[in-house]
Amino acid sequence: MSKRAVYRVRVAGQDISSRIDPLLTSIRVSDRDGTHSDTAEIVIDDKDARVLLPRTGDEIDVAFGWAGDGISVVFVGKVDEVESSGSRGGGRELRISAKGLDTQGKGKEAQQINIDDATVEEALKEAGKNAGITDIKVDPELAKIRRDWWGLNDESFIHFGERVAREVGGVFKVQGNRAILAKKGGGSVTGQEMPTVTAAWGQNLIAWRIKPEMGRPRNKKARARWYDPDEAKWKTKEVEIDDDEVETTLGDRYSRADEDEAEGSATNGKEETEDEKGGGSVEMDGTAMARPGGTLILVGARPGIDGPYRIASVDHTYTRSGGWTTSVELKRPGEGVGKDDRGKKGSGSSGGGDFALPRDPELG
């Protein structure tokens, strides 16, 4: 007997699941690595206008699960937009859009502040305090980065956080009253490992589309330059990229203020290059364990494709006909991906093995 997907939607503290269930068309939740806010969209058949129109700014949360196994919250935020649409022959539809970030709050308000001799964490907390965001978590390694000066020149807290993330090699996100600066490719800001999920053929894997290696520019090093006023000369900072098949260096087109900023920029280039080496997408039965920054292990697709990948984004979709599915965008293929070692033994080939396998006696 197949499992039955279940959901819960709460708006302004009230569970409206039973009221919208006969009218629900779909629910979609998106969580993307590197963007400052999660999003959710609920589409309802608005025949006879039986659903009370929610207000912009109402708190909303969405949870998914499987009957008998409980549910898990996959989105918390506020209603951002409500759209009604319809036509004489096509019926009526109500579309409720929400964001993890309060778009009416002070997080997007321009600030004019200077912060002297502070760490990344201290600077974000100072700017966050002015924006009304007080719960700020920073990756332990990034939290120690210190600069003589940080400044916001008519820049919002959101834009400041995104800029700092690019400069230090991190990912910035706001969820409700909480802001997170995680290390790119480093997982949780608490230091704990992010969840690992498995998508296995014949079990929970629905579909995949994977390129284990991409023919985009690849580099062995990432470099950024900065000016040393004490020695009155330009200097460079280089970091190694995990790719032994190339010798080129990725350069930063902009000069950086000091050595720490140059190192952060080079590290950011390294992480982006390693992310883009390969990847693709996987669709599987719904799971709340899939989260950006975590790991997906693909099993049973084929040799050279199976293996670990870093999850870059997650989309949860619930429909009446299709149930609950989770689609993930994958980057940074791990150990064994891209290597199909079948037929190599005794081949004497140094070029990665024959493209064709030995003849199968059953297939001819």
Q: How far is CA 281 from the centre of its chain?
A: 13
Number of Cα atoms under 13 Å in the Cβ half of residue 203:
9
User: Which residue has 């940080």 as its token pair?
Assistant: 150
Beta strand 295-299 with 135-138: parallel, antiparallel or unpaired?
unpaired
| Residue where one domain finishes, among candidates 231, 246, 275 | 275
Q: How many domains is the chain built from?
A: 4
DSSP tag of 196: E
Contact 4, 10 (CB under 8 A): no
Residue 254 neighbours by CB under 8 Å, 6+ apart: 265
Contact 179, 136 (CB under 8 A): yes
pLDDT for the residue 207? 97
Let me know whether 209 and 324 are in one domain. Answer: yes
Cα(342)–Cα(357) distance, integer angstroms? 7
Q: Is residue 115 part of a domain?
A: yes
Let me know whether 201 and 300 are in one domain. Answer: yes
Residue 228, amino acid? D
Let me know whether 11 and 80 are in one domain. Answer: yes
Q: What residue numbers bound the domain in which 65 lies?
A: 5-99
pLDDT for the residue 289? 94
Backbone φ and ψ for 250, nearest 5 degrees, come out as: -85, 120
Cα(208)–Cα(282) distance, integer angstroms? 4
What are 90-146's pLDDT values in tens digits? 889 999 999 987 777 788 889 999 999 999 999 999 999 888 888 999 988 888 888
Domain containing residue 151: CATH number = 3.55.50.10
pLDDT for the residue 21? 93
What are 241-285's pLDDT values in tens digits? 877 777 888 888 888 878 877 887 888 788 777 777 889 999 999
| Residue where one domain finishes, among candidates 83, 99, 115 | 99
Instruction: For residue 186, give the nearest of 141, 155, 246 by alpha carbon.
Output: 141
Cα(52)–Cα(19) distance, integer angstroms? 10
pLDDT for the residue 1? 46
Cα(143)–Cα(193) distance, integer angstroms? 18
Length of the chain: 364
Let me know whether 206 and 324 are in one domain. Answer: yes
Cα(357)–Cα(81) distance, integer angstroms? 55
Q: Is residue 337 part of a domain?
A: no
Contact 95, 43 (CB under 8 A): yes
Q: How far is CA 220 from the centre of its chain?
A: 25
Beta strand 249-251 with 221-228: parallel, antiparallel or unpaired?
parallel
Contact 138, 125 (CB under 8 A): no
Let me know whether 300 and 203 are in one domain. Answer: yes
Let me know whether 236 and 307 are in one domain. Answer: no
* Dihedral of the alpha carbons of 180, 185, 189, 190, in degrees to the nearest 10: 160
User: Coil, strand, or helix at residue 268?
Assistant: helix
pLDDT for the residue 186? 59
User: Coil, strand, or helix at residue 83?
Assistant: strand
Instruction: For residue 13, give the nearest of 79, 68, 74, 60 by alpha carbon.
Output: 60
Cα(236)–Cα(136) distance, integer angstroms? 32
Let me know whether 203 and 291 are in one domain. Answer: yes
Let me know whether 230 and 129 are in one domain. Answer: no
Q: Is residue 191 part of a domain?
A: no
Q: Is residue 234 part of a domain?
A: yes
Instruction: For residue 333, give the nearest of 206, 207, 218, 172 by alpha carbon.
Output: 218
pLDDT for the residue 92? 92
User: Which residue has 């079948």 as its token pair?
Assistant: 342
Domain containing residue 17: CATH number = 2.30.300.10
Q: Which helix (H) or strand (E) holds 40?
A: strand 39-45
Q: Is residue 341 part of a domain?
A: no
Q: Which helix (H) or strand (E) holds 130?
A: helix 120-131
Residue 118 neighbours by CB under 8 Å, 6+ apart: 126, 146, 147, 150
Let me know whether 204 and 327 are in one domain. Answer: yes
Contact 40, 75 (CB under 8 A): yes
Angle 204-208-209 (CA atoms, 0-180°, nearest 5)? 170
pLDDT for the residue 187? 57
Let me know whether 16 and 53 are in one domain. Answer: yes
Q: Is residue 287 part of a domain?
A: yes
DSSP tag of 256: B
Let me know whether 312 and 200 are in one domain. Answer: yes
> Which regions in the chain score pLDDT beneath 70?
1, 34-36, 185-193, 215-217, 343-364
| Residue where one domain finishes, among candidates 260, 275, 290 | 275
pLDDT for the residue 90? 81
Q: Is residue 130 part of a domain?
A: yes
Let me know whether 150 and 241 are in one domain. Answer: no
Cα(234)–Cα(255) distance, integer angstroms? 9
